[in-house]
């Protein structure tokens, strides 16, 4: 299982490709699995963690109508992203639109995955956690 930490500011190029920091890219090998993720970000998983995600969604696909639809949407939004020689991966337009990504992307190491965020959306979502940490409250 790969482990990811840190945050990095990146920009998408004119073709919608993202250069993943070498520090994070090394954990993936030749490719990563890109999918929509909770709270409105995109996530990159390595092959082993993607198998865990797939198993969880397969179970969910056997549940309620809502669970089945969540599994369908997740599956439809998932793709394998192959790194090119410069370490770039393509971020498909529907994924960029769904996550609200513009030219700037905040790349976050999130323990078992890498998350891709709109900087404004991440700042808004992180405000609660920042306040809790400042107050000394366990999150």
Task: Judge whether 78 and 34 are in contact, CB under 8 Å.
Answer: yes
List the CATH number of the domain containing 14.
3.40.1550.20
Task: Judge whether 87 and 25 are in contact, CB under 8 Å.
Answer: yes
Q: For position 138, what pLDDT does the model report?
A: 54
Distance CA 10, CA 20 (A): 8
Q: Is residue 33 part of a domain?
A: yes
Q: Is residue 1 part of a domain?
A: no
Task: Judge whether 114 and 97 are in contact, CB under 8 Å.
Answer: no
Per residue in 80-111, pLDDT (tens digit) is: 999 999 999 999 999 999 999 999 999 999 99
Q: For position 127, what pLDDT does the model report?
A: 82
> What is the pTM assigned to this prediction?
0.87
Q: Is residue 50 part of a domain?
A: yes
Between residues 127 and 77, the one the model is more confident about: 77
Q: Is residue 64 part of a domain?
A: yes
Mean confidence (pLDDT) of the chain: 91
Distance CA 68, CA 8 (A): 34
Q: Is residue 139 part of a domain?
A: no
Number of domains into which the chain is organized: 1
Per residue in 25-39, pLDDT (tens digit) is: 999 989 999 999 988
Distance CA 28, CA 101 (A): 22
Q: Is residue 55 part of a domain?
A: yes
């Amino acid at each position: 299982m790969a482990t990811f930490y840190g945050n990095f500011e990146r920009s998408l190029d004119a073709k919608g490709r993202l250069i993943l920091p070498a520090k994070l890219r090394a954990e993936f090998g030749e490719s990563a699995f890109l999918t929509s993720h909770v709270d409105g970000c995109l996530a990159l998983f390595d092959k082993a963690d993607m198998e865990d995600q797939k198993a969880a969604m397969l179970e969910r696909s056997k549940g309620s109508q809502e669970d089945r639809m969540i599994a369908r949407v997740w599956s439809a939004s998932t793709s394998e992203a192959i790194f090119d020689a410069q370490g770039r991966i393509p971020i498909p337009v529907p994924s960029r639109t769904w996550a609200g990504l513009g030219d700037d992307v905040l790349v976050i190491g999130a323990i078992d995955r890498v998350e891709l965020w709109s900087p404004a959306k991440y700042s808004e979502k992180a405000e609660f956690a920042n306040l809790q940490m400042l107050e000394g409250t366990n999150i």
